[in-house]
A = this chain, B = another copy of it.
Amino acid sequence: MSSGVGVSPGNVPVYYGSASLKAVDRRMKVAEVVLRWMICGLGLAAALIIGTDDQVRRFFTVEKKAKFTDMKALVFLVIANGIASGYSLLQGLRCGLSMIRGSALCNKPLAWAIFSGDQVMAYVTLSAVATSLQSAVLAQWGQPELQWMKICDMYKKFCRQVGEGIALAFVVSLSMAALSCMSAFNLFRLYGKNKGRENTSW
């Protein structure tokens, strides 16, 4: 590979005019790999923490059990984070391979696919966090006007574990949002044709 050609975080060959862009690109590549593997781990952790969450309480002779499937929003959160984790595993492997090879042949359709995937995952994971947070707020404080009673007084351990899972899922969704910005950068700069301006300032 010639000195004027580098590989973007999205595996897209980009032609540089300045050293600063090359340095930014290298840092972005590392940041992308770190974020993808972080999402893979945290997404799996969030799904496991919520997916294994239950608590049994005994009221005299009656046994009552709270489990994550009682709240459809938590089921959505588990599925969304499971998918985000698997997706990031595949993308992390792609990034890892491109770093090991030092270069990768790529094209606009792939950059579009990565951008679209990241966008969808960012919106899906954020929606899952939002709905789960809404359920968690209801569980914590209830909605007396609608006679929806709070349940966290009864199921403290269950609610605490849900809170931990949602916190992790929130980090996952923020990371996905950051990644979707990076993949937008990797894709749309391919359409740049600002030949009239040589000195790109950040």
Contact = CB atoms under 8 A, between A and B. Distances in A.
Interface in A107-145: 108, 119, 122-123, 126-131, 133-135, 137-139, 143, 145
Interface in A174-201: 177, 181, 184-185, 187-197, 200-201
Contact of A189 (B17, B122, B139, B192): B192
Contacts of A134: 72-73, 130-131, 134-135
A interface, size bucket = 35 or more
Nearest to A189: B192
Nearest to A18: B193
Contact of A138 (B148, B189, B195): B148
A52 to B, nearest CB: 18
A34 interface: no
Contacts of A63: none
A70 interface: yes
A191 B130 CA distance: 33
Nearest to A173: B123
Interface of A: 4-5, 14-18, 21, 66, 70-73, 108, 119, 122-123, 126-131, 133-135, 137-139, 143, 145-149, 151, 177, 181, 184-185, 187-197, 200-201
